[in-house]
Structure 1
Amino acid sequence: MTLAAARGLARRRLGKLGALGAQRQRSYTPAPPIFGAYDVLDASSAITAYPDPLDVPDSIPRPSYVPANFFTAPIWEHEAVEVDIEAPGERIQLGSRSEARVRKVASLAAEVLSEVGKLVKPGVTTAQLDAAAHKLILERKAYPAPLGYQHYPKSITTSVNNVIAHGIPDDRPLRPDDIVNVDLTLFHDGYHGDTSATFLLPEVDDKGRELVRLTEEALELAIAACKPGRPYSDIGKTIEEFTKKNGLGINNQFSGHGIGRRFHQPPWIIHYRNSEHGCMQPGDCFTIEPALTQGYRSRGTLWEDGWTVSTDSQARSAQFEHQVLITGDGVDVLTRRG
């Protein structure tokens, strides 16, 4: 989950989406030849109804932003829960129980993402990936943090091909030439762990493979730019220098974010060259999650489902995300997969 989910509340169309019929199958158009061979998902693919959420046992604590009646009432009747994303971010006290808890939940998130990644195959639906992730999260006595966050109806997001972020899992089978980003967040013992990766299906063409490889490399370079005393703006500078050299675009509608007890909080991590103030300090915990696109045009349009954002150029987009903690002398990646 990224900042756009927290800031796009006014665009939710709850009344329209709440009572309509079955979900649509996704529709396609051929990709522009310059970007490779794959199917483009368009806004007509948006679901026409929010599905009922998968159940979570009462024994697993919910985050405070989940409406009390989320699992018992239709979406248009959900209680409103205010989320103050601009309140000052909480720094993790190194060596404390808070640090141990945030490390634990981030490790659990990495475990779940690794297991879900093994299930990404042609013919599998993104709804099946969601159900599998949901089960894996509950087995760890954790809560799937996106579920109920500003009325989101699923436990993960799945963004296929030209979808930049926040794709809602559905009944569309993955195709052999798809790329798909799986983004998940766990809430456990009062803290959040947030991570994502883009997975390749077996017949992805060379241009798609290059996009995914370079996006992961951009994230690793950004992480290497982190240490106490360095400006947060160095992260965006590093990513932009790399993407320009490799002919890619950086979507500027989404950002990384501080994380801990709260899902989204300052600092906001901008993935392109910027003049944001502030330097990293020991105990700062945040995500870095650049969404890169083929070509320099990287803007996206929000679909009628209120969540999905796809590229205006119809180019593919890839994203990788890690949650990091600034230590006394460097940075630890809390969501590194084994």
Structure 2
Amino acid sequence: MADRDQSSAAPVLSVVIPCYNEGENVPLLFGRLMPALHALGVSIEVICVNDGSSDDTLDRLRAVQRDEPTLRIVDLSRNFGKEKALSAGLAHTRGQAVVPMDADLQHPPEAIAPMLEKWREGWEVVCARRDARAGQSLKDRLFARGFYWVFDHLSDVRLPREVGDFRLMDRRVVETINAMPERSRFMKGIFAWVGFRQTEILYHQGERAAGISKFSPIKLLRFAFDGLTSFSNFPLRVWGVIGAAISTLAFCYILVRIIRTLVWGIDVPGYESILVSVLFLGGMQLLTLGIIGDYLGRVFDEVKGRPLFIVRRLYEPGEE
């Protein structure tokens, strides 16, 4: 296959890095990232998306940019969340190949070289699969395993195991993702849904260089639920099955009570059974309404048609 490096005047490689309160990690990241990128021997650009950081992330990125002409900074007007910050970065890329990665150095920059080699072989998506989850507790690993199991069984899209946002994508893949209009962005699902010719490399996930994770257990749970509802309508359809099962059990119970009354006569009714039935059915109804409301909220967001993100300013190299 012809070498893709010569196919366009655009940079060969774009690296996208969403940043939210990563001030401590910025010098550590670029101290390791840039030597790895320059060693590739191809034209590059690095796009950092400042996702409404409240610390000195933007100032530190600007300081790096003064000495690094390949760095472009997309400064968002507020915090939109990692998925939309990543979408903003992808929308500003120009490279023939694009690599999203985290700013905390858990995604090793050295893994980009083997991904680039796979891309040159003709693969359109090169996923980086971690060999272990570094720095995570047993509870977090079990939660992740449970999420993948549920997602695989309830969604038509299968997520590659132990693969996050760290991957290389061909320009055609990125343009396809950028053209998708949906506002509920579960990027791992979107990456898997678009398809194209995919392969994997294996890498060792490092420890977080500095700071703490921005995802609390509640945020992770919400993120998992967002991912499921973005790619499956099973949570809506399942309540029809549950409702039919409950109705069948209730009908059988009514028959039993009628037969009991005809044979043994009327006995003293029990308030406990009535209370349990009312509370159980009421809880099921509220849960059903909550799930329907979540889907309806997504429809509401889509109908409003608001942009995914708002760029306050784009800092190009050489600007003051």
TM-score (norm 1): 0.26
**Going by fraction, where is helix more abundant, 1 or 2?**
2
Q: Which has the higher strand share?
A: 1
TM norm structure 2: 0.27
**CA radius of gyration, larger in:** 2
